[in-house]
Amino acid sequence: MNKQDCLTRRHFIKGLGATGVALATPGMASAMTTDAIHWDEQVEIAIIGSGFAGLAAGIEATKLGCNAVTIYEKMAVYGGNSAINGGLFAAPNSPLQQQQGVQDSADTMVADQLKSGRGVADEALLKHIATYAKDALQMTLDAGAEYYPYLQQLGGHSVPRTYQTKVSCGAGITQPLLHECRKRGVALQNRSKFEGFVLDKQGAVAGIRIRYPFYEEDAQSGKVINIRASKGVLMATGGFAQNVNLRMAQDPTLNAEVGCTNAKGATGEGMLEMFRLGAVPVHLAYIQSGPWASPDEGGFGYVSNYSIFNFPHSIAVNCLTGKRFMNEIADRKTRADAELACRDNDGKPLPPIMITSYAHAKEHPTCEKVLKYDVGWKFDSLQAIAKRFNIPLQPLEQQVAEYNAYVKAGDDKQFGKSMAKAKGMYLQAPFTVVRLWPKVHYCQGGVQVNVKAEVLDSNSGKAIKGLYAAGEVCGGIHGVSRLGSCAIPECMVMGMTAAHSIMGA
């Protein structure tokens, strides 16, 4: 890297302040050059992060002949944010779709995502991911992941294409992939905090700096070691939803009072280090909130998957009016915005409720836990619901009657919800009810990558040699709003893609 390039990049990093990107240290301070550096360890591929993307990359790399790949995880446990996500996997042309006669294609899935992305999603990347989603799904099946024998149609999807793990969370995928990594000889090291890159004289990424063993209570714990990665470095570090200062720099309303579904390690340091190298920041202000979350429990909780399953045959009701206020299976942003607009007469938040027939709700495995842990409730009548949540009874009764008529006719005249998954599923007592309120869930923004999972340089527009990224740390793929169940295929396909690019396969 010549002096002019360094100056140009420093000016670029300085300019990031105007975009709201919070940088902890001066530009380039965390990158070192290989001049006279002592390498403490050497691998062929270094993977930072042990979620869906990192694990899939590790497995694929060994299939392609890599003999020395190591996955480094900052936290004490493996899996990161992936382990606690909803375990929902969207794939077109999947075995279940073929068994059930569902007509779907990569193009159809992409069209759904482009609509949700409000015109600024990356069509090429979405097409690449949708095309190979079936292969990623097969990797999970080969590793031993187990799914329910049905498909769900999540908000914004035009057809049912979503698998659900039997444990109703992402651990149903990360644990089998972790086992497969170990089986294939992938080395794994936890308590390993990424500190920065090591560059060669031409500016290519030659290795990484890792603080080990790292304990989150002490930022200076452990020792910083230099690790050479002879073939490449894959950044699979996830999003920054737990970094309150950084997310507030993009959206001041996302302060510490707003809940979050992410693991504690989702703080974005890896992304910031790539910005310091000159990576292009894309769509950082597009931060998605989950409209299926509950204000009555922390994190992702039990209500989230319960709501996702039940939305197609349930109604969401504004407690102030007793009426529906949204299409319950619209895309996430549409629903989250509609929920946030539910306020009392003083303008204070008034979480809406979702009403489901218990006969249908109990079909989902989390229903029992929702009721057991008092984050959802069972009622014998609409009168009891109205009394509990101070809802005007007559409008509520009228709304339920109207909705049942829509079920019978197969046509939602209020909000145009697809009634395919509600056929014959009338709202009848006894009922179950949960409260809804969005939580920060996913960062659409991050570094720009191409369909080879190469990180692009803001100065040249070309790939930064030796550097690859996959998963939520990447930006621009989904646009304004990501459709539910599309994160896992994205992470895994791009992780697998990175392995192919690094290995030259």
Supply the residues annotated as catalytic: 332
Look at the block and give the residue holding tokens 């009810």: 433
| Residue 348: other Cβ atoms inside 10 A | 7
What are the tokens at 119?
A: 């015109």
Distance from C-alpha of 360 to C-alpha of 337, rounded to nearest angstrom: 27
Strands in 285-381 per DSSP E: 287-290, 315-318, 323-324, 353-357, 376-379
Query: What's the Rg (C-alpha) of the chain?
Result: 23
Q: Are 367 and 168 in contact (CB under 8 A)?
A: no
Strands in 142-269 per DSSP E: 162-164, 187-189, 193-199, 205-212, 223-235
| Residue 227: other Cβ atoms inside 10 A | 22
What are the tokens at 68?
A: 């020395």
Distance from C-alpha of 52 to C-alpha of 493, rounded to nearest angstrom: 9
3-state helix, strand, coil in the chain (%, to 5): 35, 20, 45
CA distances (Å), origin 188, targets 179, 252, 321:
11, 37, 54
Q: Which of 400, 407, 410, 305 is nearest to 361 (CA)?
A: 305
Exposure of 257 in the CB half-sphere (CA atoms within 13 A): 3
Bridge partners, 193 (sequence order): 211
CA distance between the termini of the chain: 28
Q: Is the dihedral of CA 458, 464, 467, 471 positive or negative?
A: positive
Mode of pairing for the β-strands spanning 223-235 and 463-469: parallel
Q: Is the dihedral of CA 443, 169, 105, 136 positive or negative?
A: positive
Distance from C-alpha of 359 to C-alpha of 370, rounded to nearest angstrom: 15
Q: Where are the alpha helices (DSSP H) in 322-420?
A: 332-340, 358-361, 367-372, 382-389, 393-409
Triad 34, 39, 45: Cα angle to 5°: 90
Distance from C-alpha of 340 to C-alpha of 487, rounded to nearest angstrom: 24
Residue 278 contacts by C-beta under 8 Å, 6 or more apart in sequence? 9, 12, 13, 457, 458, 459, 464
